[in-house]
Amino acid sequence: MNKILAISVNTFKESIRDKTLLSLSILGFLLIAASKIFVPISIGQAHKIIKDFGLGMVELFSLFTVVLIGTRILYQEIERKTIYSIMSKPVRDWEFVFGKFLGLYYLIIFIQFILFIIFILFTRFYLGGVDWYLLNALYFFLFEFLLLNALALFLSCFTTPITAGILTLMMFFIGQLTHYLKDLVVVMKLPELSPIVNFLYFILPNFSVFNVKASVVYHIPISINSYFLAFSYSVLYSTILLILSSIFYSLKEYQ
């Protein structure tokens, strides 16, 4: 456990110094602030649009962090030759993979909390009060990106960073739509597409499980089952991906 913790802390420290992260953070702050421009053109809807836009930006820049930094974690170790010194130490493959995973997840938590603080302060300043119901979205974001983090690491075990990034993005957006596609096939009566859609629905991560932004913005009650499903689905799927990542990592030969 100490080895995993040491690797995760070191990964977090390295990632937080990444210039890409600084650029994303600045851009995230600017775009959250830019939601103010929608106020004059949305009379009566300013509060809802600013909240929806802000939550979207928190999710978007968490996604960029995983895609731009998470998919390069293992590749950088190989590129810098540091992986050889790691392999010479008594560190098991699964400990290394889990440590890298946790290090990036620490970074995602850090970014989300910083952006949420900025977002909350922004709503307090421009909307005259803090809507604490927004924190419900943070809960779902944390488990959404726990899963996406595991997915990105899994893909990076056997592809290049660019390919892993593209695949991560594709699976994220497809995972937001599979639920609707499944219903659409039934409504449109397209049985020939049903096997393909069902395959995607059951194999790919279903990220719609974590999509509660509309409920949070419009103060629609979120059921206890939704909280439990987000937690259990994310942890179970992430665990499977991490086990597979450890297997792929141990089988791969680094030359």
CB of 48 closer than 8 Å to CB of 38: no
pLDDT of residue 240: 96
The sign of the CA dihedral 22, 121, 12, 97 is negative
pLDDT at 79: 66
> Phi-psi region for residue 44, left (φ > 0), alpha (ψ -120 to 50) or beta?
left
pLDDT tens per residue across span 199-221: 777 888 999 999 999 999 999 99
| Residue 16: pLDDT over 70 | yes
Name the average pLDDT for the chain. Answer: 82
Domain total in the chain: 1
Domain housing 114: 2-251
Give the percent of the chain with pLDDT over 70: 82
Q: Is the pLDDT of residue 1 over 90?
A: no
Does this model's pTM top 0.85?
A: yes
DSSP states of 78-114: HHTTHHHHHHTSS--HHHHHHHHHHHHHHHHHHHHHH
Beta strands, E only, 165-237: none
- The tens digit of pLDDT for each residue in 69-106 reads 888 877 776 666 555 555 556 778 788 889 999 999 99
Q: Give the residue-averaged pLDDT of 56-65.
A: 87
Give the pLDDT band of residue 158 (cuts 50, 70, 90): confident
Q: How far apart are CA 2 and CA 220, in angstroms?
A: 43
More confident position, 99 or 181: 99
Which tokens is 145 given?
């990106």
Alpha-carbon distance of 106 to 142, in angstroms, equals 10
Identify the weakest region by mean pLDDT among 52-56, 137-141, 162-166, 243-247: 52-56
How far is residue 18's CA from residue 24's CA, in Å, rounded to a whole number?
10
Q: Which position has the higher pLDDT, 134 or 122?
A: 134
Name which residue leads in pLDDT, 238 or 197.
238
Please answer whether residues 104 and 153 qualify as being in contact, where contact means their C-beta atoms are separated by less than 8 angstroms: yes
Confidence at residue 26, expressed as pLDDT on a 0 to 100 scale: 66
| Residue 44 pLDDT greater than 60, yes or no | no
Q: Which two three-digit tokens encode residue 2?
A: 């100490």
At 57 the pLDDT is 83
Q: Within the chain, what is the greatest distance between any pair of CA atoms?
A: 63
pLDDT (average), residues 110-124: 84
* Amino acid (1-letter code) at residue 181: L
Q: What residues have CB less than 8 Å from 168, skipping those under 6 apart?
A: 66, 67, 70, 71, 148, 151, 152, 155
Q: Could you tell me which of 1, 157, 167, 168 has the C-alpha nearest to residue 77?
A: 157
